[in-house]
Chain A
Amino acid sequence: MAGIIAYGAYLPYHRLERADISAALGTGGGKGARTVASYDEDSTSMGVEAARIAVDAPAIRERVDQLYLATATPAYLDKTNATAVHAALALDPHVLAVDMVGSVRSGAGALITAARAAGPTLAVLSDIRTGLPGGADERDGGDGAAAFVFGAHHEDTPVLAEVLAQDTISDEVLDRWRLPGANASRVWEERFGEEVYVPAATEALAGALESTGLTADRIDHLVVAGLHGRACRAVGKAAGVRPEAVVPDLADKIGNAGTAQPGILLADVLDRCRPGETIALVVLGDGAAVLVLRATEALPARRPPRPVAAQIAAHGPALKYATYLTWRGLLDREPPRRPDPEPPYAPPSHRRIGWKYALVASRCTACGTRQMPPGRVCVACRSVDATTDEPVANVQGTVANSTVDRLAFTPSPPMLVVVVDFDGGGRLRCQLTDAHEADTAVGTRVEMTFRRTLTANGVHNYFWKARPVRTAVPDQA
């Protein structure tokens, strides 16, 4: 038996109320809200946040054998983005890390490939959905990520959802396309896509079900994902499943995160389904892909600590539309009168990969003091080269001091700066993100999050920031 042995999803903290689009532009808009990646997030950093949740499950990290990062909005071309995720997760160097980049279908591709793989495989799906101001893609899009580890059953890493079947149909169809470098997609007339996708999806689903002995009306949860909303709704009706089995697409709460959307919706179903229930995931895009799963008895005990529903609820106050446009580079704002930010340099970044990407500090073997960044000479007893690695990415801390910097360069001023004292020792001065000035209060509990801190000279800088620990669900929802 093989299937999903770990999973996680990541939704950004920020939401854009669709009504705010029409308030600003007099057009666009609609109901509900969509997720918005923060100014310091991209598909790589969100992928890391989702994948951290998956590989932090007991005994998973050391078992992962290969990693696929799927996104339609890669942070880099030519250079692999999955290696940054690999580094941030501190995976073994021999783990294959490659991108599946460019098409929205690559998300489904990564899932199916992982499901078919011989060794435990981490599929990371991440996307930022762009679109021109006032357009449907801006309104209907969303940002987020999801990650799944597929593998065989082991006693310490049981299968949480068994793969019963999968099938794909590949079809060269021009229903949505975007030239490299362009900010927005173009789409063909909707009814054309519907005519192509509905038969493809129903055929793939039927093909997959055939080998299982199941019929469509036995499916407990049907997830239909794709950027073609009209076709997705039609598949839900045409598939022959019970109407109550069709899973809501969450469009009103988070929008559609494209490449990541099937993963986010699947994670949400896994968060709440019962053992023994069947799940059919149908993804539309350049054909169709189908994955049929059955939840196992092991699922309830090994669900991740950050359910999708809780992340949907735990969002910040509504983002101003002008702020959204600024973050997306669609509103060219006056820069501060400060020196241009410095990009990271390649050799020091490579030398410090453990600290920079995975936040691995050091602990002195002589006096026990934890030190960050790691150093060869202990900050307390000055022992030389007497250290062991100490990962701190999952260690929480407390704000010991803080300030609000209104002069520093940041795409989203003012910069919130905190001095964090970590539980178990160690101190780091860093930025506070997904937060407001009130969150800088001394005593605030924080956790670390992987971010793209800046882009300079065409180089992205990835490093960790603190964010407030939000265990309680805010009542803004």
Chain B
Amino acid sequence: MGSHGIRDRVAIVGMGCTRFGEHWDKSVDDLLVESTTAAVASAGIALDDVDAFWLGTQGSGGSGLTLSRPLRLPYKPVTRLENMCATGSESLRNACYAVASGAYDVAMAVGVEKLKDSGFSGLSSTLVPGAGDDGRGETSPPANFSLLAPAYAERYGVDRDELKDVLARIAWKNHVNGARNSRAQFRREVPVERIKAAPVVAGMLGVFDCSGVSDGSAAAVVVRAEDAYRYTDRPIFVKALSFVAGPARGLAHPDYDFTTFPEVVASAEDAYRQAGVTDPRAEIAMAEVHDCFTPTELVLMEDLGFSRRGEAWKDVQAGVFDLDGELPVNPDGGLKAFGHPIGASGLRMMFEAWLQLRGEAPPERRISSLAEGRKLALTHNLGGGPGDCVSFVSLVGKELHG
């Protein structure tokens, strides 16, 4: 038994991504048409050339008809799937495996979410009928993730005020990056002092510590690696895909201390092994990570092996993860500034890797680490909350066997 991965067996040859934000004038159908037609156009093919589709959405539609109906797809296989906030990544993983298996020549992964039509602030969720005997459904996502901050401060002896500065700097950085992204929901830089002074939502988290609630869609065209150059001269090759669902032990067992996501550690180790990465901080050129809330990004830096345990807060302050830092994290603005249409986020992350690896990111946010010889981009996407989550890690590169 083992996780063998599909290193260098498939490639992404086309991508599309809508602007994320408040699309009061667009439906789920509109967003799907926009992202999928952009993706096939960038691969130089037509929708009819795609053999099979994987559609990820948390609550914006059920069944494959959610995609086949608006696109009028002619009798193609469409799988609708959901894995909380990691839904978009999960659709990509399944499309890649379908092509790697030889079952299809061309597959498309699509993610979509329409959150703003509900009128609610924050996420809405679809619940299985329950007994009302489990406090998990009652609390809000920012509250769940806010548990990370005091735990981190306590474990590593970081003063709470200092930690507030660190979290604000993460939000500040992602807003700086998002301001350079025409597709981002929030395109204004926000001063650290304003971030710190924002109204509190939960625990230590203010409004600016939370990701944007938005509508959007993204899509990718996947083919066998050996076919990639028939579609584009700059494909990106999939080096690793790892996805784990945790045992939800952290909310049931006192040995979990809320300073880490064991699910992320497990999926990162698996992905690094698949891709042959031994020193992620030195080998990876950029990372798109699941910064749903600022303390999540802080903890992820350690779980992904970018920082030593207990030192991510110092690396954040030192600018290691800034756009011009040693290892740029969320150069597109992240969930924080790009926005978080749940089912689309995982593919949006891959879209930034696509742009950066192909040298298509606009000059004002182009990272320099690639030019310095690093070859890999990482995307990380999670769903759930501390102690009870699913996690995805991918590694992609612009070179076959590189």
Chain A interface residues toward B at CB < 8 A: 337-339, 341-345, 347-349, 351-352, 355-356, 369, 371-373, 379-380, 400-410, 415, 417, 419, 421, 425-431, 442, 453-454, 461-463
Q: Does B33 contact A (CB under 8 A)?
A: no
Contacts across chains A and B counted by CB atoms under 8 Å: 126
Using A345-B131, A408-B143, A415-B143 as known contacts, list a sample of 12 further A-B pairs with CB atoms less than 8 Å apart, ordered by residue number in A.
Answer: A344-B131, A348-B129, A352-B133, A372-B252, A401-B151, A402-B147, A405-B142, A406-B200, A407-B122, A417-B143, A427-B254, A428-B135
Complex interface: chain A residues within 8 A of B120 (CB): 337-339
- Bound complex: CA A374 to CA B118 (Å): 35
Q: Mask for B191-202, Cβ within 8 A of A = 1, else 0?
A: 000000000111
Instruction: Report which residue of A345, A371, A421 has the largest number of chain B beta carbons within 10 angstroms of its beta carbon.
Output: A345
When the two chains form their complex, are residues B140 and A339 in contact, meaning their CB atoms are under 8 A apart?
A: no
Complex interface: chain A residues within 8 A of B131 (CB): 344-345, 348-349, 351-352, 355-356
Q: Which of A349, A372, A407 contacts B143 (CB 8 A)?
A: A407
Q: Which of B118, B132, B138, B147 contacts A431 (CB 8 A)?
A: B138
Shortest CB-to-CB span from A23 to chain B, Å, is: 29
Q: Which of B125, B140, B251 contacts A407 (CB 8 A)?
A: B140
Complex interface: chain A residues within 8 A of B151 (CB): 401
Q: Which of B121, B202, B254 contacts A400 (CB 8 A)?
A: B254
The 10 closest A-B CB pairs, nearest first, are: A344-B132, A405-B143, A356-B133, A345-B129, A403-B203, A461-B132, A407-B140, A348-B131, A421-B254, A430-B135
Shortest CB-to-CB span from A129 to chain B, Å, is: 27
**Nearest B residue to A463, CB-CB:** B133
Complex interface: chain B residues within 8 A of A454 (CB): 132
When the two chains form their complex, are residues B135 and A403 in contact, meaning their CB atoms are under 8 A apart?
A: no
When the two chains form their complex, are residues B140 and A405 in contact, meaning their CB atoms are under 8 A apart?
A: yes
When the two chains form their complex, are residues B132 and A349 in contact, meaning their CB atoms are under 8 A apart?
A: yes
When the two chains form their complex, are residues B202 and A342 in contact, meaning their CB atoms are under 8 A apart?
A: no
**Nearest A residue to B251, CB-CB:** A429
When the two chains form their complex, are residues B138 and A453 in contact, meaning their CB atoms are under 8 A apart?
A: yes
- Bound complex: CA A344 to CA B256 (Å): 29
Within 8 A of A (CB), among B248-273: 249, 251-254, 256, 258
Complex interface: chain A residues within 8 A of B136 (CB): 429
Complex interface: chain A residues within 8 A of B30 (CB): none
Complex interface: chain B residues within 8 A of A430 (CB): 135
Complex interface: chain A residues within 8 A of B138 (CB): 341, 408-410, 415, 431, 453
Complex interface: chain B residues within 8 A of A431 (CB): 135, 138
Shortest CB-to-CB span from B135 to chain A, Å, is: 4
Q: Does B35 contact A (CB under 8 A)?
A: no
**Nearest B residue to A359, CB-CB:** B133
Pick 30 A–B contacts, CB within 8 A, sort by A: A337-B120, A338-B120, A338-B121, A341-B138, A342-B127, A343-B132, A344-B132, A345-B129, A348-B129, A348-B130, A349-B131, A349-B132, A352-B131, A356-B132, A369-B253, A401-B150, A403-B143, A403-B150, A404-B200, A404-B202, A405-B139, A408-B139, A410-B138, A415-B138, A417-B143, A419-B147, A427-B251, A427-B253, A431-B138, A442-B150
Complex interface: chain A residues within 8 A of B121 (CB): 337-338, 407
Chain A binding surface SS class: mixed
Chain B interface residues toward A at CB < 8 A: 118-122, 124-125, 127, 129-140, 142-143, 146-147, 150-151, 154, 200-203, 247, 249, 251-254, 256, 258
- Bound complex: CA A379 to CA B154 (Å): 26
When the two chains form their complex, are residues A419 and B251 in contact, meaning their CB atoms are under 8 A apart?
A: yes
- Bound complex: CA A352 to CA B133 (Å): 8
Complex interface: chain A residues within 8 A of B258 (CB): 401, 419
When the two chains form their complex, are residues A373 and B135 in contact, meaning their CB atoms are under 8 A apart?
A: no
- Bound complex: CA A429 to CA B253 (Å): 11
When the two chains form their complex, are residues B154 and A442 in contact, meaning their CB atoms are under 8 A apart?
A: yes
- Bound complex: CA A371 to CA B142 (Å): 26
When the two chains form their complex, are residues B253 and A379 in contact, meaning their CB atoms are under 8 A apart?
A: yes
Complex interface: chain B residues within 8 A of A343 (CB): 132
Given contacts A355-B133, A408-B138, A431-B138, contact A379 B252 (CB under 8 A): yes
Complex interface: chain A residues within 8 A of B256 (CB): 427
Complex interface: chain A residues within 8 A of B254 (CB): 400, 421, 425-427
When the two chains form their complex, are residues A342 and B124 in contact, meaning their CB atoms are under 8 A apart?
A: no
- Bound complex: CA A404 to CA B146 (Å): 9
Complex interface: chain B residues within 8 A of A401 (CB): 147, 150-151, 258
When the two chains form their complex, are residues A342 and B137 in contact, meaning their CB atoms are under 8 A apart?
A: yes
- Bound complex: CA A341 to CA B120 (Å): 13
Given contacts A373-B134, A417-B143, contact A427 B202 (CB under 8 A): no
Instruction: Report which residue of B127, B130, B147, B254 has the largest number of chain A beta carbons within 10 angstroms of its beta carbon.
Output: B254
**Nearest A residue to B147, CB-CB:** A401
- Bound complex: CA A339 to CA B122 (Å): 10
**Nearest A residue to B118, CB-CB:** A339
- Bound complex: CA A406 to CA B119 (Å): 18
**Nearest A residue to B132, CB-CB:** A344
Shortest CB-to-CB span from B145 to chain A, Å, is: 9
When the two chains form their complex, are residues A380 and B122 in contact, meaning their CB atoms are under 8 A apart?
A: no
Shortest CB-to-CB span from B304 to chain A, Å, is: 23
Shortest CB-to-CB span from A337 to chain B, Å, is: 5
Shortest CB-to-CB span from B128 to chain A, Å, is: 9
Given contacts A380-B253, A419-B251, A429-B251, contact A463 B132 (CB under 8 A): yes
When the two chains form their complex, are residues A417 and B135 in contact, meaning their CB atoms are under 8 A apart?
A: yes
Given contacts A337-B121, A379-B252, contact A404 B130 (CB under 8 A): no
Shortest CB-to-CB span from A51 to chain B, Å, is: 20
Given contacts A345-B129, A406-B200, A406-B201, contact A415 B139 (CB under 8 A): yes
Instruction: Report which residue of A372, A373, A429 has the largest number of chain B beta carbons within 10 angstroms of its beta carbon.
Output: A429
